[in-house]
Structure 1
């Protein structure tokens, strides 16, 4: 290992500013994993047992959030270190393999193959920082950062492995607590008593456009997964007028989500990075905003499959919450992104969220297809309002809060 020491050290990022092909391969594995989450949740959400239906919503978070957190931590590694170096490439490949193994366990994650989900996550979250520590000099702030990360990840590993070994009814609880520990520790900077307070921030974004572009690609990954879920759902369902309308509505909804995201704020995230003074705040808020938006898109994709299988039947309330709540969650994350880029709160998106929430109860007495049409109509209203705003105002330059 001595000959490779320093090969993955920070530096050279500007000359490798764009995502490389290995990172795009990693993204393809994530598409498969997110589709596995959708396929795992839809049957539970269709259960006649009301407890199972509502529990499936929390199960979505417990299963998807570790996958997205692995993507996020991998993105920060390839942004901080030169992804052309051998060690970093091996880490990306190992991360892809880990997510692949986790995704194959998703249908049985709560009923048998818990360790197949937990062990790859733990090995990556503990192993990668330990390997990076060896490439950095003693006393380096980044080395301190990854030392803290490894310590906290080793602690949460007890919950992850314990969940994989315990009875199924406790597994979701332990894993939910474990991912909360991971995220809270990251938010606090992985504090460790007795260690120096001087350390690099995990959220600091380099001046290159790499990480903002990776966030944009994460949204495209989620949209690609929603199209995949839509196509599979339509292929496997009987072809009727209702399911065909559902297909067209879902496609339009996906296009509208893309349009609403990239309208100014989404496409100017990289320019906001150039203008910002506090890159830590930008990195933290932008990252969280994208995770929220991805969850919204994931819920929307689950709604697509529900419509394909139960287009005209009387929907369960949980279905309507997913069909309307997915776009609402996406709009909430998009509001946070606009605050990062332009230091303002989008009233158009707030109105869209309020309308979606207000429609949940009345549409619970109609049908899943009607709820899907309503969600598309609200997103169309937001997109039209964005277009009218663009016509009335000249092109803007980013004015980030920090």
Structure 2
């Protein structure tokens, strides 16, 4: 390992901070556990995060996504310019990881003043072709900025001169490769998910944290104005969908608090989970089934006592034609719901069994199935079959293929959303 004390050069200090240096040189941040990401601004390949050389790679003053506890390789990229041709060597001086706490008016991350850790460094190679292996990165979900101070060695007529510069890269560490529809994950989503689930190292803890943050920071609104999705199809039974398109950019463009019906908040929660590597899907309780083909009436059910997200404290009932939730199938059919909590008895819908199989001879999703649940499952806690406002013909249809939006059935888009009059 070389040390700066062995360098016989003149040192010129230039502090760049968050300003891109005028020199063309760029650092690249890569890993075998790096995942491609996109900005979430437009459709197509131009939305992918790329360096100015056209590579989908982490780069100076840009974002990058890595698996937690991975190692990154930092390399120097020079252009065929007079300014870069004089560079003959470069050296690592110091580095630090700084937690990100927001974004400034230019779209750059704002960080805490003090680094929470620095990365061990190993030097490999010589001259401008050397690389620095840094790591491991945090072993948990994190949104941070890696600041790296380096010295570029210039060969001049009077000898070698060292120029100090501070480069940085916005870093997201996730549990695993992001899952569709967040594959590639959006930077605008990662900045939320990796902040809300910061510090979590297991998928269950991260899922619980993200559910809680959606409930605490987003507002349930069942009106036509905020559902931000499309995909219902008029069929013989009523309305159902084989896929759903979530206008995610429009949803995120709202003033705080983010508002939406169960489709919007559930799709958002699913995207947050997918972005950090959790294999979650969207589940609908049932199709919208019409009564005897009547285009006016349809199945509806009365909920038990609930507290909707960001509503004034109280006891509420919903009269719904359906509801939408997040399903994680890693260990059975488990529900996470950021739209509400149950009041009587108090229960947070995280890691909750969706439903049990009905006893022999009992129709799936019927009142008899509901009665056999024993009020321990999500199905039993949500639906109130004892209410006169629940349609006696209502059926819980989570066993129907058109109620589960597994990839690629749930899609996300940056295109503007316009209220289509649905509902």
State TM-score, norm by structure 2. Answer: 0.24
Whose helix proportion is higher, 1 or 2? 1
Whose strand proportion is higher, 1 or 2? 2
